[in-house]
Amino acid sequence: MDRMLAVVFDNEPKAYEGRKALLQLDGEGSISIYAYAVLAKHADGTATVKQGDDSGPIGTLLGTSFGSLIGLLGGPVGLAIGASAGLGVGAAADLNNARIGEDFIDDVTKVLLPNRVAVIAEIEEDWTTPVDTRMEAIGGSVFRRALSDVKQTIHEENVAAMKADLAQMKAEHAKAHADRKAKLQEKINQLDSKIQAQLQKVKDAREAAERQAQAKVRVLEAKAAVAKSKAS
């Protein structure tokens, strides 16, 4: 099952120890890591993505669930991310794109207080015990949430309903007197703008799903290439 994982530690050394343990679990085959980052919350409320001693797949999922989660956990005060991290704040802070509930963000931010550090990862895991056991031994507080499916149904239903209203308004407009036509035309224009906005949301959701799938394939291909080179 694909999940978002957030493990909060009291300090940076423990967070890096937690990151190392997570990568070991990936190497053992207990989990698969698609992306990870170490996120430090500062005393002034700002947050920074720490690179550590290797960049890892940070930024691989730019504009997808992982990037959105990083942006959201950075909080309203601001998120400072190094250029080499490859993540942009504008593309990140999107709850819909994060594909997780707002309550998950709230739970993590209540514990990710100033001067604390979290390991954030998008992973695939069949059971929770391996991660929980390793992280809790280091002193980490573990939060996880399964990723919801990217659904376009709601937006598509909204478009269908608005198009029905638009058709009715246009029919009324054709029969209306001159004084009524102007008001109807204004409503028609407003509704058409809303329809275009909904259609854009459908397109954005579809493109986000495609980016997510392609990015994960690239991560898995890179891992397979590394494993093959070690075996040869």
**Which residue is listed with tokens 């608005």?**
162
Cα end-to-end span (Å), the chain:
31
Quote the pLDDT of residue 99: 66
Q: How far apart are CA 68 and CA 230, in angstroms?
A: 34
Say what the pLDDT of residue 25 is: 95
What does pTM read for this prediction?
0.65
Least confident residue range of 23-27, 41-45, 82-86, 186-190: 82-86
The tens digit of pLDDT for each residue in 88-97 reads 433 334 555 6
Task: Encode pLDDT of 142-175 as tens digits.
Answer: 999 887 654 555 567 677 878 888 888 898 889 8
Q: Where are the beta strands (DSSP E) in the chain?
A: 2-9, 31-41, 47-50, 79-81, 117-125, 141-146
Report the phi/psi class of residue 29: left, alpha or beta, with left for phi > 0 and alpha for psi in -120 to 50.
left
pLDDT at 137: 95
* SS3 at position 75: coil
Rounded mean pLDDT, 214-226: 78
Q: Are 5 and 144 in contact (CB under 8 A)?
A: yes
pLDDT of residue 147: 74
Six token digits for residue 142: 């573990």
pLDDT confidence of residue 204 = 75
Alpha helices, H only, 44-177: 65-74, 89-92, 95-98, 102-111, 129-138, 153-175
How distant, in Å, are the alpha carbons of 99, 135, 159, 163, 195 from that of 198?
Answer: 18, 42, 6, 11, 5
Q: 94 in helix, strand or coil?
A: coil
